[in-house]
Structure 1
Amino acid sequence: MNAKVKHKAVATWLALLVGSFGLHRFYLYGLKDRWAWLFPLPTLLGLIGVQRMNHLGQDDRMAWVLIPLLGISLVAALLGGIVYGLMPDERWNARFNPERPAEPGGWGAVIGVVLCLLVGGTTLMATIAFSAQRYFESQADH
Structure 2
Amino acid sequence: MCAKRFSQGSGPSQRQLRVAEVIRHKLAEVLARGDVHDPELSRFSITVSEVTTSPDLKHATAYVMPLGGQGEQDALKALRRNKAELRHQVSRDLGLKYAPDLKFELDGTFDRMDDARRIFNDPRVQADIASDDDATDGAADGDDDR
Does TM, normalized by the shorter one, top 0.5? no
More RCO (CA 8 Å, sep 6+) = 1
TM-score (norm 2): 0.28
TM-score (norm 1): 0.29
Specify which structure has the higher proportion of helix: 1
Structure of higher CA gyration radius: 2
Specify which structure has the higher proportion of strand: 2
